[in-house]
Structure 1
Amino acid sequence: THLCTFDITDLYTMLPQEESIAILKQFLIRFNQTHTRGMSINTIESLARIVLTENVFIYGNKYYRQIKGGAMGSPFTLTLANIFMWHWEQKLVEKQKASNELYGRYIDDIFLTSNDSIESLHDMLENANNYHLNIKLTREVGSCVSFLDVQINNQDGNITTSVYHKEASEPYIVPFKSDHPRHIFENIITTSLLRAIRYSSTLQAFNHEIRALKLMLIYNR
């Protein structure tokens, strides 16, 4: 079984505006949301167009209007990106279901499995990469891949998981001598421990993550 992860390059700023609005309308109709918080689909469509097309910014003492994508950090851009990906992934999801394979997505990060040949898998990903001019994939295929902060490894048919740390990540957190509220430090430790417990499928992986956590805490005394 091949493991594959990929993400969409610059999804938020590459969304085709008018096409995304059309997909939003299709999404609302598909799920019978003819009125949302008292607003009709046509009203939502009009408001969405204003939010997308009336973004301006200043660069070099000149005003520019954004003609592609949405504003970074905007809650609406996140929602619209999710809906756009819902539309984009339909054929891929159908193929995975028909093949009884795994498929999962978190916004623009996708994980899937495949028992096809590696050539067929790359062909499928290349077709997905060429499906839309604005949507380009950065992919990773193999027996060991990372998805978000999880490392997934296929060892002769046995799936193991562990915590994934990016190569560029540094073992630094908020220094304990800083004036942050004390619960911040407690939450850092609790969250790190929970992640180690949930993501480590073997005792070896868990112990490795605990050692890394201890070192991180020592660095930040």
Structure 2
Amino acid sequence: MLPQEEALNVLVEFLHVHGYTKVKGIPLETIRLLASIVLKENVFVYGKKIYQQVLGGAMGSSFTLTLANIFMWKWQKELVRRQDMTCEYYGRYIDDVFMTWNKSENALKQILENANTWHPNIKLEYKIGKSLPFLDILLSNNNGTLSTSVYHKPAAEPYVVPFISDHPRHVFENIVQTSLRRAIKYSSTFQLFNDETRYIKSTFLYNGYPSSFIDKTFRKFFSGYISSRSFLPFLDNERQFSQMRIALSGQPSRQQSQVEMRIAALTNDNDHLVEDLDKKEEFIIQQNKKTNKLQNKLIIHYTHEKRFKTRKRDMHRIFQETFVNTPIMETNLIVGNTNHKNTMKELIQKRPRQEILKNKVKADENHKKEPSATKPAKSK
């Protein structure tokens, strides 16, 4: 759990380090105040008592996750510095860390145990080995060569959405293709990819997917990389696998890298031309931009209740106190409310339109029943 005040200080430090004095015109002091409101104003009821959160942030809040990442940025500085000094790799995703080490295991354990003393609220649980999972990837060190493959937890059951479930057909295709896409990206060798492909097919067969449907989806996914005359819907060789892996991973080929380098060199030489073009485009956009009636207006709407009698006045007061002497004061705060419908309004319906009240059907029937005039018989 993050100490709230310390986390707010780290947030301001993070913005300062990255060259921010304002964010979209909002000073850092105001950002810290807003962050404090989000972090500290969390209450909940338990056992007929109201509690306020004093450590950490609200679960599920996007800001809490961002703040946790920034807090870890501060914590990991020393560890990253040591890894950079020894030319080792360090990577982190939220609270999962992966790092390489080429010295003794005891030296690594000593560093990790030392890292556990850096902050009382952050403790590392680590595993050391030549083959370790990180998220859903299994990384292995094979005599100095790093290989990757899809990681399956030992306790994980081979279950996916059953084929008999009431889903549109494209959902089943997407599930199969997602598994193949992950296998392509995570498998570092053609052999590992083939192993994962066999696992994928057996898993879907186990969940009731027809073999013909699986083969058809495989062939559709690999189209463009395998021959249409191929008997099996699989990649045939290492070259096809490498081409598809580069395409799906977004990794440019050597030729693409050379082209990008040439484009970058040309861009650097023509910076002044690009700036002039940007100014011209900005001028045209400003001319064609339509006026927005809601610009510089902040509209807040709520349903009125007796306990919210002073809500409008309170919100205007908080807005004034919070954003005084900031550019946000140029925004016009509009607070509106609607009343609850009472029983009479709920039960009384609006009178129907006049044309609906006219009984045209009966009028037509009466018209048909009227005796028609008979023509006089012709005399001979």
**CA offset digits 1:177-219 (Å, max 9, x no partner):** 3333443322221221111111112233222211221122123
Q: 1:144 aligns with which of 131, 145, 168?
A: 131
Query: Which deviates the most, 18-27 or 64-73?
Result: 64-73
Match for residue 43 of structure 2 among 52, 56, 71:
56
Given candidates 18, 21, 32, the residue that maps to 1:45 is 32
Task: Tell me, in whole angstroms, the C-alpha distance in 1 between the residues paired with 2:179 and 2:26.
Answer: 42
- Provide the residue aligned with 1:177 in structure 2: 164
- TM-score, normalised via structure 1 length: 0.88
User: Matches of 1:62 and 1:182 in 2, distance apart?
Assistant: 50
Show CA shifts across 1:53-81 (max 9, x none): 11122333332211111111100011101
1:126 aligns with 2:102: no
Question: Residues 63-142 of structure 1: matches in 2 within 5 Å?
Answer: 63-142=50-129
* 1:173-212 → structure 2 map (5 Å cutoff): 173-212=160-199
Distance 2:43 2:15 in 1: 28
State the distance in 1 between where 2:163 and 2:169 align.
Answer: 9
- Gaps of at least 5 residues in structure 2 are 209-380
Helix, strand or coil: the match of 1:27? Answer: helix
> What displacement does 1:174 show?
2.0
- Report 1 or 2 for greater relative contact order, CA contacts < 8 Å, sequence distance ≥ 6: 1
The 1:63–1:180 alpha-carbon spacing in structure 2 relative to 1, beyond 3 Å, is farther
2:13 pairs with 1:26:
yes
Higher helix share: 2
Distance change >3 Å, CA 168–CA 61, structure 1 → 2: farther
Which consecutive residues of structure 1, in runs of 5 or more, have no partner in the other structure? 1-13
Q: CA deviation at 1:172?
A: 1.5
Q: How big is the alpha-carbon RMSD for the aligned residues of Structure 1 and Structure 2?
A: 1.5
- Measured in 2, the distance between the counterparts of 1:167 and 1:127 equals 31
Normalising by the residue count of structure 2, what TM-score does the alignment of the two structures yield? 0.53
Number of corresponding residues = 208
Partner of 2:140: 153
Q: Which has the larger radius of gyration?
A: 2
Q: Which has the higher strand share?
A: 1
